[in-house]
Copies of this chain bind each other. A is one copy, B any other.
Amino acid sequence: MAQETVRECFKEPAQDITQLVQALRVFAAERDWAPYHSPKNLAAALSVEAAELLEHFQWLTEAQSRSLAPVKKAEVAAEAADVFLYLLQLCDQLDIDLIQAARLKMVVNAVKYPAP
């Protein structure tokens, strides 16, 4: 892919999520991963990455999980990124606006769990 094309993707000061989605589209297209990225497969990959994130905490106490060592925190950040990248690709495939869906869900939760 030409550098110009990539710069083209990120020329406008778009929202940061939109930039990531654009980059993920180019990344997958360059590797011909489209056939593998069905929503069903992406949902499975998302679930697998979420488990890899959980794995870092499974034997820790809640207290220990609140004070991770720098190296451990970096590993957790990398797993959180994997979860996020698959979530963005799944929503992109299904044409779901993740930010809008999150805002709507918070409104729903505010009704479901009234503040004291």
Interface of A toward B, CB cutoff 8 Å:
1, 3, 5-17, 19-20, 22-24, 26-27, 30-32, 36, 38-41, 43-66, 68, 73, 76-78, 80-85, 87-88, 90-91, 93-94, 96, 98-99, 101-106, 108-110, 113, 115-116
- Ordered by A's residue number, 6 sampled pairs between the chains whose C-beta atoms are within 8 Å are A6-B9, A10-B20, A20-B99, A44-B58, A51-B51, A76-B96
Bound Cα distance from A106 to B31, whole angstroms: 14
* A85-B105, A94-B73, A102-B81 known; A54-B58 Cβ under 8 A: no
- With A9-B22, A16-B14 known as contacts, the answer to whether A48 contacts B41 (CB < 8 A) is no
For the complex formed, measure the closest distance between the CB of A108 and the CB atoms of chain B, giving whole angstroms.
Answer: 8
Top 6 A-B residue pairs of the complex, sorted by shortest distance between their CB atoms: A51-B51, A40-B65, A81-B105, A38-B62, A50-B50, A81-B101
- Beyond A44-B57, A105-B81, whether A110 also contacts B27 by CB under 8 A is yes
Q: CB distance A23 to B41 under 8 Å?
A: no
Contact among B58, B61, B78 for A45, CB-based, below 8 A: B58
